[in-house]
Amino acid sequence: MTSTVVEGRTIELTSLDRVLYPAAGFTKGDVVDYYASVAEVLLPHLRDRPVSFVRAPRGVEAESFMAKHVPPGTPEWVTVREVHRVGGKTDRQVVVQDLPTLLWAANLSVLELHTPQWRLPAEGMADRLVFDLDPGAPATIVQCCTVARWLRDRLERDGLPSYAKTSGSKGLHVLAPLRPADSEAAAGYAERLAREAAEALPDLVVDRVPRRLREGRVFVDHGQNLWTRTTAAPYTLRARPRPAVSTPVTWDEVAGCEQPGDLVFTAGDLASRLERHGDPLAPLLDPSRAGRLPDGP
C-alpha cells in the first residue's frame, strides 16, 4: 500500500502492480497514472454529473461490472449526491469533482466512467445531445464517419454545432451542446434525426434496435439521451483487451478516416494528442456555443 497526498487529500493506493490489461501489460498503477495525466481535460466533462463506474478488479479478462452505488469505505471528502431512479426512488451516487476523487476511483480499479446528458442540480434537463454510432460487421468506424458527417450537417441546419469522439470500442459518438432542455424532448428530437438518417442513407443506417437489422450498417443509437441513460465520458478508458480510450477527434480526422485503425487510440496516445489538439470537445462545455432544441417535428 502507498499513501499519497493530492490537493490535501490522502489517498491509499493499493496493488499498483496488478495487471488489468494482460494483452498490453497495463497495470492498475498505469490506470492511476493515465487518469492523472488527463485530469485537466477530463474533469470538466465530469463536473456535476453523477458517475457510473465500470470496475474490473481482476482485470479485463475477468468479470467487470457497472457500479452506480457509492462504494463501501468511500472517503467523506468524496462528493455524493442524491439521484432519482425510475419509479420515483432515489439513490446516492458519486460525483467526480476533483483530482483526488478521480484517483481514488482509479485505485478501485474503475476503468470506465459513464455520465448522463445532464448536470446536477438540473436533473433531467439535458445540456447536450449524443448519438452513439455502432457499426454492425462488416461495417466499421469508417462507415460511422460517413454517418457522423451527415449528422453534423443535419444538426447544423437546426443551428446546433456538433463534435465527435471515438467510443473507445468499435464506433463513434456525435455530441451537440444544448441550452438546457427537458430530456424527454431532447430524446424525441434525437430519435427523429436518427429516423431521418435511416431514410436518407437506407443502405448505411438503421435506427432500430434488433441486431438482425444491423449487419453491414450503422445503428444510430439515440436512446442515450433519455434521462436515465449514460454514455462513456470523454477520455475514459474502456474495459477492452487493450487500454482503449474514448478519444475526442477533429472533423478533419473524421473526414480522413480510411481504415478502422485510423481512429483507434490507447492510453499511450493521449499525451501527444493533447499537446497537438488540446481538447477538441472543449466547446461542448461553453454555454455560448449551446444551441436551442428545435420545436416539434
Instruction: Determine the pLDDT at residue 296.
Output: 63
- What mean pLDDT is reported for the chain? 95
CB 225 within 8 A of CB 117: yes
Instruction: Determine the pLDDT at residue 184.
Output: 96
Domain boundary assignment for the chain:
2-115, 125-289
Assigned CATH topology for domain 2-115: DNA primase, PRIM domain (3.90.920)
Instruction: Determine the pLDDT at residue 95.
Output: 98
Domain 125-289 grouped into CATH 3.40.50.920: no
Instruction: Determine the pLDDT at residue 277.
Output: 93
- Sites in the chain below the pLDDT cut of 70: 296-297
Amino acid at 273: R
Instruction: Determine the pLDDT at residue 297.
Output: 59
